[in-house]
Amino acid sequence: MSDAEAETAAEEKPRVKEDDAEEKKKSEEAGESGGESGDDDDDDANVGSEDESGSDDDASDDDEDDDEEEEEEDEDEEDEDEKPAKPKKPAAASDDDEDGEVKAEPAGDDDGDGSDDGEIMTAAKAKAQKAAKKKEKEKKRSRNQFVDDVADDDDDDGARKRKKKKGKKSGKDGRPGGNMFIDDMADVEDDDEEEDDEGDDIDEDLGEEEREAVMREAEQRVHARYENLERMERMENEEELEAALKERYAAHRAAADYGDVGIGTEVDQQALHPTVRDPKLWLVTVKQGKEREVVVCLMQKAINLHRSGKGAMAIKSAVVQDHLKSYVYVEAEREDHVKKALAGLRHVYHSKPIKLVPIAEMVESVTVTKKKVSNIKMGSWVRMRGGAYKGDLAKIVDVNFADNQCTVKLVPRFDYAHLQAKEEGTHQGRKKANLRPPARLFTEAMSAKYNLPLERSRHDRRMRANVDVLCGQHKLMDGYYVKTISLASCKLADAPALDELQRFSTGEEATEAKTSDGGRANAAANLEALASSLEGAAKREQNFLPGDHVICVDGDLVNLTGVVVHDNADGSVKITPTHDDIHEDIDVDKQTLRKYFKVGSHVRCVHGVHDGESGLVVKVEGQVTTVFSDVKQEEFLVFSQDLADSKEVTRRVESIGVFTIHDLVQLESSAVGMIVRVEKDAAMVMMASSTADRPDVRPVKLHDMRRKLMDRRVTASDAGMETIENGSMVRIVDGPGKGMRLTVKHINRGTLWGKVRGDVADFGGIVAVKARSCRVDGSKSKDGGNDANRAGGFAAAPQSPGAALLRSPAARQQPMQMQDAPRAGRFGGGPVGRRDNSLVGTTIKVSAGVYKGYKGKVVDATETTVRVELQAQARTVTVQRNQIVMPSAAPPWGGAAAAPAAYQPAAPATAPTPARTPMREYARTPAYGDGIGSVTPLRDDGAGGRTPLRDSAWNPATPHHDGGVGGGGWDDDAPSTASAPAPSSDPDAGYAGVFVTKAVVSLPDGRQGVVRARKNGAVVVAIGTTKTLPNGVVTLDALTSASAMETVPESVLTLAPAQKKDNVVVVTSGEEQPRGATAVVISVDEGECVMKMDGTKEAAMMPATAIARVPIPFSALDRTFTTIPLLSHGASSPALPPLVPAASEPGFGFGVAACASFAAIPRRMISWSAEGLAPARLDASPAAASDATLCAFLKTSSAFASPAAPASARAPTSVLTRLFAMDSFMCASSSPRLSSVAAAATFAESGRFRLARSICSAMRRAARSSSSSSARSRFAFIAWRIFSSLSSGR
Amino acid sequence: MFFHIEQEKNIVLEPMYFGKRMREMIESRVRQEVEGSCTGRHGYIVMVTNIVHISEGMITDDGTARAKFHVKYSAIAFRPFKNEVLDCVVVQVTKFGFFAEAGPLKLFVSNQLVPEEMVFESVDENAYVDKTDISHRIVKDIEVRVKVVGLRIDHNEIFCVATMKEPYLGPSPA
């Protein structure tokens, strides 16, 4: 009988390795027998299994499968046979399973042809698992071979079933063609497998019987296939074939109608999409996580029903998809079949509706997508998904798909202290340290150190190896942590970069290095091993670009080098060989090519952690290339596949966002540092806190960097007070790194970042060092002997007498403090960047801007900005100085508080202000900025009131000063010179009435005046002129030089009503606002005034009677030295009131003679000094006025000019002389900026541009010849300011 | 390799230098600007040997009253090439290799390119010591002969990777 024949063949053949000839022979044989026996061939596949079911595990499993599905038919027949086999089944199945996998590897390795390793494994597995698969269909679905396998299985099933049916019902009836084709289908599908089988060395591990069974089955398939092929050939023409096909489909449909599902090959599957006549797919909601259990329960139920002989369930199948949580698919004709089947099952939500899967989606629903995880095999590199090991590289040492688990080898991250605590029982349920323990190979020393129990060489059954066990739970192998995890908790890694592999294998390397001397060769060998270990990992597609140098590593052309010409679509590459005898381009398979780099070539890394780094190739060894990094000046190892030729001659600009390497950046924390290295997503920033020997380099993410600092013009002073500029060479003379020489790259707040030459340290030789511990190369004052003279830089240059006069009383009281803060003084009025620690630590409120209303603690403050740590939000913001207020600090009486009280919040009115240096005053030049000295007495805002500019960021009128001003400025009795500050001279001390000094009052006769003083219940009033506003209200317009003093009894006086925009002061106590608080009236309505408090910037409402108008804010009355900008251009109304605090008006309180400006000549500023000067009474023509102004100015300035200033400066006669005088004065003066600026601006205002320009150029000259660079830049700055104002003014 | 080349350059001089010593000024300017500079083509300009010609000055028209002079000069250039053998001075020894300088040129010799018999030691000072002859040491400040295997040319710097793993390379005797 042909069956027997086939079987013998099947048994014998696999044991010998067959060549093609044999195969052919076999197929011929098969063909013959097929030809002879015709229909009988159908039975091939089954005969073996059926006949030998008793002796053969595998075969018996098959039988059982059949039985299960066709219980009704086969029940009687096979019942007895089956029962003993049943309990054994699952075990057998899983055994097979494991064996199959374990064996798969060696089989693949031994295999000669190498090309089909994967397939061979697949095939072997498929065979070995066959039985298991049928039994536990659902579990198998996670495998990659699932679809095919199931197809196979089902084919076989189908074939057998059909045959059985046939045998039972109609025997070999009129459907031979159909049967033939169905068998054919099954067998054709097996093509690959069967080929592999033949080449396979079957594993010794497999039990003899099992192996035979597997072999037999394979043979049967082979056999059948060839027979079918023969048969196909024999079908002479297409018509016949067509007919056969038709017949076959008819047969299939018929079968389907009977509920017998036969699935064909892949092609057929396409044609066999479900139709309405097929069973439907139902989606059943089950408890999450119990999907598999439900399906297994269903299966068990089916078995139980079958055993107990009850009617089987009407459902066809049940499927669980791993990716679909809390749903199970059940295949059945009707919904009630499903319900019935599910009845009584746990974990099924019976209450939820069972949904029908639309036909169109059916196939998708049950299609198992190939999951990457299924590629995991022993030796694969994976990455951990979560936990302490998240992202760590791990190597698979074992994988068990059945349990969905794998065993991985990791570099342990043990928290030994934690383990110890646990071990000793002192563990208090403490949360594990948040810090991720470092990955370090385990050594026994560690267990000894922490006194942890370590069990040596315990045999682990699962791994079939000896492992050490730490603390009874952590398995260790050679220092690695061996852990069994679920397949889901790891993912297949891309080919890991070399450095990672190295880190992984550090242990091995270290031990080897220890034993061998030198260790270099060993390390190299290790790398090679690593490289080869990569083979197992997912391989990245190699990309070859035209121009790449390549070398053949395999095949006939091994060691041939060439240059890539073209990357062909078919996976080969056309190369131009660099060989003397080969002159034409050849196509070479990509797989056999490797990139090739010569030592010394410039390359860039394109993958891995070194991505983007360029460097010079130092060494090439196999796949591993050593590259000397351009930037880091270090070597690193990479696979040559990760390199590309770098054509660029220059190094690549390494940048992150807008920041590039070697930029000076300010971080969100306001800290400043220099980028010394840029990595993929972070920059390494060398902070200012670094020292030469201990760099403080932090990785900073892009979003943590606020801005790039431009510091080209920034300078610093060295130990000898020499100026350090960008690009200077400096030598470290003190502290760490002494003796180093560096080229300064960046300067920030006294810290230098520079590149050390020669002695290349880390970070490309960049070090940060304090400017004070360096000395500029070529410095004149090597010994620092001149330091005292240089210490003050510009400000402390030889002091002129005038400079002393200009000093504020406060500053004069604290001369020492000024010396204590030489840094502050040195830059003499540098506008930004200076620290002002007086505010730090205080709580302030933001009064304007985005953060208006927020309160916070000041963490840092400069002259213009403060950094505020907000209370409401966890962030620190930068706020302009003029936008903050001190909620708690009420403005002291007499404080005009044009500047927010917060300006000196912590200091009481008499507190010393160390930050105050004379230079502060110098800075207050009109040209410098509007924010300074911005209050003008001549300002006319239309209402006759004088409004201070609210944006005064650096207003001289600090509470401290105002104490004196308040008294001296307005009171006849007060000392009239600046040199006598009289904080105690508050004229209103002890006075509780409303007629406070400075208040504007109305006399009974309608005249108005300003309260000067009070004597015995009477009030001294300076009578001023009045004007009538459009709304009919009469207000005080101005005090004139001729203002008469009248003494009036208090009782007849009334407070002049305040008008909109007037400056007012609270004169009653017990109101909402404290007495003495100043404000600006916003509106007046029915005896109520709405006003904006100067101190808090808050609006307040007060009865009109509680406030008194004051003529001008006191800030304008700083008597020490003030420049008062006049109205701007264009306000040249002849009606401009001459509110002139001239000499004739000493009571006005300046105690100074002032020069003034008048009438039609709009002028930006006038100057006066504390020193008495002859009043410049000016009237007459504009030209005369300007001359007079100049004159006054010159006199003013000459008062504090150095004695060297020529006499002509004091009495200028002509413009030229004046100019000359000015020039020489400026050169001589220690504080030329102020005067020259004032002069220039004055000239500019009066339209004498030529003069102004001359002054500017003089200043430029001065700037150029100035010794200090800071002074130079100041000059340039001022000159620029004036020029720009000139051009805009014209 | 050293070359004696002739080059040209424009020098801009401020009017304050117009006068008797202007020529000297121009010469010193040329030296100042050229000596020590580095270009990819010519390498480092080591020294200006001779000012060949100075053109007449042209006042620039940028309002600064400066004058431009076209200067021809000859100079000695130092341009390293691949495979060139150089004597250089070791400036730093690390376990990765050592850095050396040949005049303005910086070189790096990787430990991969140090002969096998020379091993790194960091006992006293970092050094590569010849196992076969202890007297052969590569330490800071000694002179070595190396061969350039690769060079990177930046806009103002040339950097070389060199090898010592060939015959006749290594520390200079005496």
- Contact across the interface for B119 and A650, Cβ inside 8 Å: no
Whether A518 and chain B come into contact, CB under 8 Å, resolves to yes
Give me the pLDDT at residue B88, please: 93
At residue A777's C-alpha, the angle toward residues A772 and A782, to 5°, is: 70
In angstroms, what separates the C-alpha of A635 from chain B's closest C-alpha? 7
In angstroms, what separates the C-alpha of B117 from chain A's closest C-alpha? 9
Give me the pLDDT at residue B75, please: 94
Whether A759 and chain B come into contact, CB under 8 Å, resolves to yes
Residues 61-80 of B with CB under 8 A from A: none
- Contact across the interface for B161 and A602, Cβ inside 8 Å: no
φ, ψ of residue A40 to 5 degrees: the values are -60, -25
Q: In whole angstroms, what is the distance from residue A792 CA to residue A669 CA? A: 31
Tokens of A824: 């502050």
Q: In whole angstroms, what is the distance from residue A719 CA to residue A725 CA? A: 14
- Contact across the interface for B110 and A760, Cβ inside 8 Å: no
Whether B120 and chain A come into contact, CB under 8 Å, resolves to no
Whether B159 and chain A come into contact, CB under 8 Å, resolves to yes
Mean pLDDT of chain B: 89
Which stretches of chain A score pLDDT less than 70? 1-210, 222-237, 250-270, 369-375, 427-434, 495, 505-542, 631-632, 647-654, 679-681, 757-762, 778-836, 887-990, 1038-1043, 1070-1071, 1111-1290
Domain A655-791: CATH class, spelled out:
mainly beta
Q: In whole angstroms, what separates CA A372 from the centre of its chain?
A: 30
Helix, strand or coil, per DSSP, at residue A467: strand
Give the mean model confidence (pLDDT) for residues B101-125.
89
- Provide the number of CB pairs (under 8 Å) joining chain A to chain B: 67
Residues 588-647 of A with CB under 8 A from B: 599-602, 616-619, 626, 628, 630, 633-635
Give the ranges where A440-484 is alpha helix by DSSP (H).
444-449
Q: In whole angstroms, what is the distance from residue A198 CA to residue A627 CA? A: 48
Partner residue facing A626 (CB), from B110, B155, B163: B110
Partner residue facing A616 (CB), from B101, B116, B161: B161
Tokens of A579: 């060989």
Q: In whole angstroms, what is the distance from residue A903 CA to residue A891 CA? A: 11
Whether A523 and chain B come into contact, CB under 8 Å, resolves to no
Partner residue facing A628 (CB), from B101, B154, B161: B161
- Contact across the interface for B92 and A760, Cβ inside 8 Å: yes
What domains, with CATH codes, occur in chain B? 2-78 (3.30.1490.120), 85-171 (2.40.50.140)
Chain B environment of A759 (Cβ under 8 Å): 91-92
- Contact across the interface for B116 and A520, Cβ inside 8 Å: yes
Selected from 3.30.70.20, 3.40.30.110, 2.30.30.30, 3.40.50.150, the CATH number assigned to the domain covering A540-645 reads 2.30.30.30
- Contact across the interface for B150 and A635, Cβ inside 8 Å: no
Tokens of A213: 């069974």
pLDDT in tens, B136-166: 888 989 999 999 998 888 777 888 999 998 8
Partner residue facing A758 (CB), from B91, B111, B152: B91
Chain A environment of B148 (Cβ under 8 Å): 600
Residues 294-323 of A with CB under 8 A from B: none
* pTM tops 0.90: no
Domain-wise residue ranges, chain A: 2-271, 280-366, 372-428+436-493, 540-645, 655-791, 886-1115, 1126-1289
Contact A48, A122 (CB under 8 A): no
CB neighbours (10 Å) of residue B164? 23
Residue of A nearest to B148 (CA): A600
Partner residue facing A599 (CB), from B99, B149, B155: B149
Radius of gyration, alpha carbons of chain A:
49
What DSSP letter does each residue of B117-141 carry, written as one string?
A: TEEEE-SSS-EEEESS-TT-EE-TT
State ipTM.
0.83
DSSP one-letter code for A354: P
Helix, strand or coil, per DSSP, at residue A241: helix
Whether A913 and chain B come into contact, CB under 8 Å, resolves to no
Scan for tokens 């394109």, then name that residue.
Answer: A606
B76 has pLDDT over 90: yes
Q: What percent of chain A has pLDDT above 70? A: 47
Which of residues B51 and A589 earns the better pLDDT score? B51
Partner residue facing B152 (CB), from A517, A599, A616: A616
Q: In whole angstroms, what is the distance from residue A155 CA to residue A163 CA? A: 12
Pairing of strands B43-54, B58-59: unpaired
Whether A1135 and chain B come into contact, CB under 8 Å, resolves to no
- Contact across the interface for A600 and B151, Cβ inside 8 Å: yes
φ, ψ of residue A717 to 5 degrees: the values are -110, 140
Partner residue facing A649 (CB), from B149, B153, B163: B153
Chain A environment of B116 (Cβ under 8 Å): 518, 520
DSSP one-letter code for A1216: H
Residue of B nearest to A519 (CA): B119
Burial class (CB in 10 A: 0-12, 13-18, 19+), B134: exposed
Contact A72, A312 (CB under 8 A): yes
Chain B environment of A630 (Cβ under 8 Å): 152, 159
Q: In whole angstroms, what is the distance from residue A1051 CA to residue A1074 CA? A: 24
Tokens of A769: 């060092």
Tokens of A592: 């056999």
Q: Which architecture characterizes domain A280-366 according to CATH?
A: 2-Layer Sandwich (3.30)
Give me the pLDDT at residue B79, please: 92
Q: In whole angstroms, what separates CA A1287 from the centre of its chain?
A: 46
pLDDT in tens, B89-107: 999 898 888 999 998 898 9
- Contact across the interface for B40 and A649, Cβ inside 8 Å: yes
Q: In whole angstroms, what separates CA A908 from the centre of its chain?
A: 45
Q: CB under 8 Å to A744, separation ≥6 — which residues?
A: A724, A725, A726, A727, A728, A729, A730, A752, A753, A754
Contact A873, A923 (CB under 8 A): no
Chain B environment of A618 (Cβ under 8 Å): 97, 110, 112-113, 149, 161
Contact A800, A1202 (CB under 8 A): yes
Give me the pLDDT at residue A986, please: 54
- Contact across the interface for A602 and B150, Cβ inside 8 Å: yes
- Contact across the interface for B97 and A760, Cβ inside 8 Å: no
- Contact across the interface for A600 and B111, Cβ inside 8 Å: no
- Contact across the interface for A602 and B152, Cβ inside 8 Å: yes
Residue to substitute from A614, A616, A1265, interface B, most B β-carbons within 10 A: A616
What DSSP letter does each residue of A1186-1213 carry, written as one string?
A: HHHHHHHHHHHHHHHS-TTS-GGGTS--
Give me the pLDDT at residue A479, please: 80
Q: Where does the pLDDT of residue B51 fall: very low under 50, low under 70, confident under 90, or very high at 90 and above?
A: very high
Chain A environment of B159 (Cβ under 8 Å): 616, 630
pLDDT in tens, A457-469: 777 777 777 788 8
Whether A691 and chain B come into contact, CB under 8 Å, resolves to no
- Contact across the interface for B96 and A651, Cβ inside 8 Å: no
Q: CB under 8 Å to A366, separation ≥6 — which residues?
A: A281, A319, A321, A329
Give me the pLDDT at residue A1254, please: 67
Q: CB under 8 Å to A581, separation ≥6 — which residues?
A: none
Q: CB under 8 Å to A153, separation ≥6 — which residues?
A: A65, A130, A133, A134
Residue of B nearest to A618 (CA): B110
Whether A444 and chain B come into contact, CB under 8 Å, resolves to no
Contact A41, A224 (CB under 8 A): yes
pLDDT in tens, B59-71: 888 888 889 999 9
Contact A1002, A962 (CB under 8 A): no
Buried b (16+ CB within 10 A) or exposed e, A809-825: bbbbebeebbeebbebb
Give me the pLDDT at residue A762, please: 63
Q: Do domains A540-645 and A655-791 have the same CATH topology?
A: yes
Long-range own/partner contacts, residues A310-313 (CB < 8 A, 24 or more apart): A312/A71, A312/A72, A313/A337, A313/A340, A313/A341
pLDDT in tens, A20-52: 444 444 444 444 444 444 444 444 444 444 444
